[in-house]
Structure 1
């Protein structure tokens, strides 16, 4: 269970640290899913999850660089206990023999969930710079949803089972 975040007193440094932790968690979960898909001999789904892990790592590094430029080596005050499945796919989203379509739907659900997190936090934010960062992150999640949807649209429908047998259909924000 994630520790409660006091958004009203969140500093810009804390917000950046929190954002980095969220990206790291998502990257790690995608890597776990890729390994699971490899184990179940579902290479296309594994490939997609690896791509998502790389994207999360890149975004996390960009945020970490920004944090470093602004605050140097100041010790973070937020911890990993403060984030749990903010953007990371839910563990129950991965399935044996998952198709690329089902993998992308799991990723889309994660991007929708991350968007909802940032939207829910906005009313509590007092610091203008933190608000601007969360608005930026919220908007990036919409862009990520669009990217996943574009890739999803390129895929043929799965044969046999319905997508709904694996992943709930997310609703874009």
Structure 2
């Protein structure tokens, strides 16, 4: 992770632009993953990813309303490790035979990264309004962690050989 001193945005507006960007990117990625799972006839996971996309889109809409922005702000760079925003699921972590439990585990990891992201901002923020908002965002993400953990209790944990494909793709050139 980058040095903590670079994490805290200078203003509440900049923080909320980052939060909005994170929610939009996560929603878009979940929608993309849903499409990929649909292509592989993994409808159960596709449906789960679509639900996650809707949830993230609602979070983005809530930020727009909270900030009183009539138009979505331009994407805000996010000071975080790697190439993805903290809440975004990496495409490389997805397998076409994954089960709902796997999809929820990926979502859980993203929410946990978002918790760490906002906690780090709260720790380093010089502006009390930025610190308070970062703590509020952290707490919202903690609520999402709890929700996903509850969902994970309702789906079966995958069997050991979940990724065995009796009819793997064959490539011919």
TM-score tier after normalising by the smaller chain length: 0.7 to 0.9
**Structure with more of its chain in helix, by fraction:** 1
The TM-score with structure 2 as length reference comes to: 0.81
Equivalent residue, structure 1, for 2:142: 142
Equivalent residue, structure 2, for 1:102: 102
Could you report, residue by residue, the CA deviation over 1:11-44 in whole angstroms, capped at 9, with x for unpaired residues? 1111111110110010011011101100111111
Q: Distance in 2 between matches of 1:80 and 1:14?
A: 8
Aligned pair 1:82/2:78, yes or no?
yes
Q: Following superposition of structure 1 onto structure 2, how do residues 1-173 of structure 1 map, counting pairs within 5 Å?
A: 6-8=6-8, 10-68=10-68, 79-82=75-78, 84-161=84-161
Q: Distance in 2 between matches of 1:67 and 1:105?
A: 31
For residue 160 of structure 1, report the CA deviation from its aligned partner: 3.6
Tell me if structure 1 keeps the 8 A contact 2:9–2:130: no
Task: Give structure 1 stretches of 5+ with no counterpart.
Answer: 164-173
For residue 131 of structure 1, report the CA deviation from its aligned partner: 0.8
Tell me if structure 2 keeps the 8 A contact 1:9–1:126: no
Task: Give structure 2 stretches of 5+ with no counterpart.
Answer: 164-173
RMSD, aligned α-carbons: 2.6
Larger radius of gyration: 2
The TM-score with structure 1 as length reference comes to: 0.81
- Say which is worse superposed, 4-13 or 49-58, in terms of deviation: 4-13
Tell me if structure 1 keeps the 8 A contact 2:27–2:53: yes
